[in-house]
Copies of this chain bind each other. A is one copy, B any other.
Amino acid sequence: MTTARRPATLDDVARAAGVSRSTASRVIAGNGFTSPVARDRVRTAADRLGYVPNAAARALVRGAGVRLLVAVAGATPSVLDDSYINQVVSTSAQVCAPYGLGVTVEWVPLDEPGRLTRLADDRGVAGLLLVNTTDAMLGLVPRRLRGRTASIGIGSASVPSVDIDNGGGTAAIVRHLYATGHRRIAMVTGPPWLTCATRSVEAYRGLLRQAGLPAREVVGDFSAARGRAAAREVLRRWPDTDAIVGISDATALGVIGQLRADGVQVPGDVAVTGFDDIPLASVTALTTASHPVRRIATAAATMVLEQRPVPPLTVFPSALVLRESA
Contacts and interface: CB of A to CB of B under 8 A. Distances in A.
A109 interface: no
B122 A52 contact: yes
A20 to B, nearest CB: 21
A240 to B, nearest CB: 25
Contacts of A80: 90, 94
Interface string A72-104: 000000001101011101100110110011111
Interface residues of A, number: 58
A144 interface: yes
Nearest to A96: B104
Contacts of A65: 56
Nearest to A123: B54
A80 to B, nearest CB: 6
A184 interface: no
A257 interface: yes
Nearest to A59: B56
Given A66-B66, A257-B283, A97 B102 contact: no
A70 B30 CA distance: 28
Nearest to A144: B7
Contacts of A66: 55-56, 59, 66-67, 102, 124
A124 B96 CA distance: 13
A205 interface: no
A314 to B, nearest CB: 21
A44 interface: no
Most buried by B among A7, A85, A257, A280: A280
A291 interface: no
A217 interface: no
A224 interface: yes
A284 B124 contact: no
A57 B54 contact: no
Interface string A275-286: 000011011110
Interface in A243-259: 250, 253-254, 256-257
Contacts of A144: 7
Contact of A102 (B64, B102, B123, B256): B102
Contacts of A83: 83, 86-87, 279
Interface of A: 4, 7, 50, 52, 54-57, 59-60, 64-68, 70, 80-81, 83, 85-87, 89-90, 93-94, 96-97, 100-106, 118, 121-124, 144, 223-225, 227-228, 250, 253-254, 256-257, 279-280, 282-285, 294
